[in-house]
Amino acid sequence: MTTRKGPFTTTRPFVLASGSPRRQELLAELGLQFTVRPSALEEPKPDADEAPQAYVKRMAELKTLDVAASFPGHIVLGADTIVVLNDQIMGKPKNNEHALEMLMALSGKTHQVMTGFCMVLPDAARITKAVSTDVDMRLSSKDELKAYIATGEPTDKAGAYAIQGIGTFLVTAIRGSYTNVVGLPVAMVVEALTTSGVIAVSNQDRTLF
């Protein structure tokens, strides 16, 4: 169970169906209490002619429903993030050479980072949404990209970079949710959690004002 002081608190048993440290950190910073149970499902490839946004929503649902089956009566939240360049999905790099290929393709261009999230409620109802953020990348030299890959950060990242890490030097601008690029569109997730009664404002001491 993850716990930290923050502006919100959970009102019902809450499970995060993701092993991503970034998603865990984003939720913990809000003060939410949750159990982490990642899905072990193998991620299928996109179907023929499947749009990136439809694919990322499908992946989020698959992972969430997989974990929700073991937690009846709980709220289960899962997510999936992809990088899209010219409507082509970029997954995680297979090796350093593949990472370099990805980063060179992204260099100097604008791409989209899409995160789909799914929330399963105790009555088995589900909420599934997807958020897209445009990301502008600086034109980086091959040597710069090789040096970045040598840090090891791109290894398990979609698109082979992390905007919240060393890879911040690659990004010149974004249009949309920053946390969506990190791995979870926090504002939209909070809205869904609040509307569904999963979280509430924390009753912390407000004697300072």
Question: Which residues have a catalytic role annotated?
Answer: 80
- Cα separation, 9 vs 150, in Å, equals 40
Exposed/middle/buried for 34, CB within 10 Å: 0-12, 13-18, 19+? buried
Sorted by sequence, the CB contacts under 8 Å of residue 96 that are 6+ apart come out as 149
Residue type, 57: K
- Cα separation, 193 vs 199, in Å, equals 6
